[in-house]
Amino acid sequence: MKNPLPKKQDAPQEIRWHIGENAAAVSAEACRRILLAAEEAIAARGWFRMVLAGGNTPEATYELLAEGAAAWSRWEIFFSDERCLPRGDRRRNSVMARRAWLDRASFPPENIHPIPGELGAMEAARRYAIQVEPALPFDLVLLGLGEDGHTASLFPGHTHPEGDLVHPVFDAPKPPAERVTLGVAALSSTRHLLVLVCGETKRQAVAAWRRGADLPIRHIRPPGPLDVLADRPAAGDR
């Protein structure tokens, strides 16, 4: 698929819900899907370009990936968003991903593209857009869903210039307030999109999404379907 264009905003969002028994089942399925997508991408194009989600949910998936073997030298890693904190700060999404996975596998350092959040949101967003543009379309974007329905650092009710690939954020309701996030256009430019949602605390956000609430995730429209891996507590299944 040469540089697939995101779906039009009026096209129905195609979502495939996959409900796992618990968070461990979700992480195992996410790991399986990521490795499969990587194999396909590397066989077809020689590279696998993946965007990592932040927060806590994906950590178990990253740990499973670290335990496996893959052609890491053919993987290129980007981040969906980053918190504007000093380098090495454990609250940064890239620090979590390195601890759980990236520093435990043989990635060539140049294959990992952290968002330079330590430079402040404006400068980091400007620089990251220059790195993201030539990497599009991604092969797989991994996202989470916050309790308030945010995705990456795109928050409900917050607007951003549609044409920008990367946005500075200064008023994030989830601390820290200052962040950098890939925008809808960049997150939609992907062959696979996987959303991981686990835990009772996400039930309302999942229900709102399913009800058609105007959440940022609804505006992310890759050419193909969104695959949502949720555990029973998040999906509202008893």
- The residues of the shown chain that bind ligand 6PG, judged by CB under 6 A, are 53-57, 80-81, 83, 93, 144, 146, 150-153, 174
Structure tokens belonging to residue 51: 């965007």
Burial of 86 (0-12, 13-18, 19+ CB in 10 A): exposed
For ligand 6PG, the closer of residues 108 and 170 by Cβ is: 170
Rounded CA-CA distance 46/36 in Å is 14
Strands (E), the chain: 15-20, 48-52, 75-79, 81-83, 138-143, 166-169, 179-182, 190-197, 226-231
Q: Which of 198, 194, 146, 192 is nearest to 172 (CA)?
A: 146
Smallest distance, ligand 6PG to C-beta of residue 156, A: 12
For ligand 6PG, the closer of residues 54 and 222 by Cβ is: 54
Burial of 196 (0-12, 13-18, 19+ CB in 10 A): buried
For ligand 6PG, the closer of residues 154 and 185 by Cβ is: 154
For ligand 6PG, the closer of residues 49 and 150 by Cβ is: 150
| Residue nearest ligand 6PG, Cβ-based | 55
Smallest distance, ligand 6PG to C-beta of residue 202, A: 7
For ligand 6PG, the closer of residues 137 and 146 by Cβ is: 146
Residue 30 neighbours by CB under 8 Å, 6+ apart: 58, 61, 142, 194, 196, 229
Smallest distance, ligand 6PG to C-beta of residue 78, A: 13
Smallest distance, ligand 6PG to C-beta of residue 194, A: 12
Smallest distance, ligand 6PG to C-beta of residue 172, A: 8
Smallest distance, ligand 6PG to C-beta of residue 222, A: 17
For ligand 6PG, the closer of residues 2 and 63 by Cβ is: 63
- DSSP helix/strand/coil, 185: helix
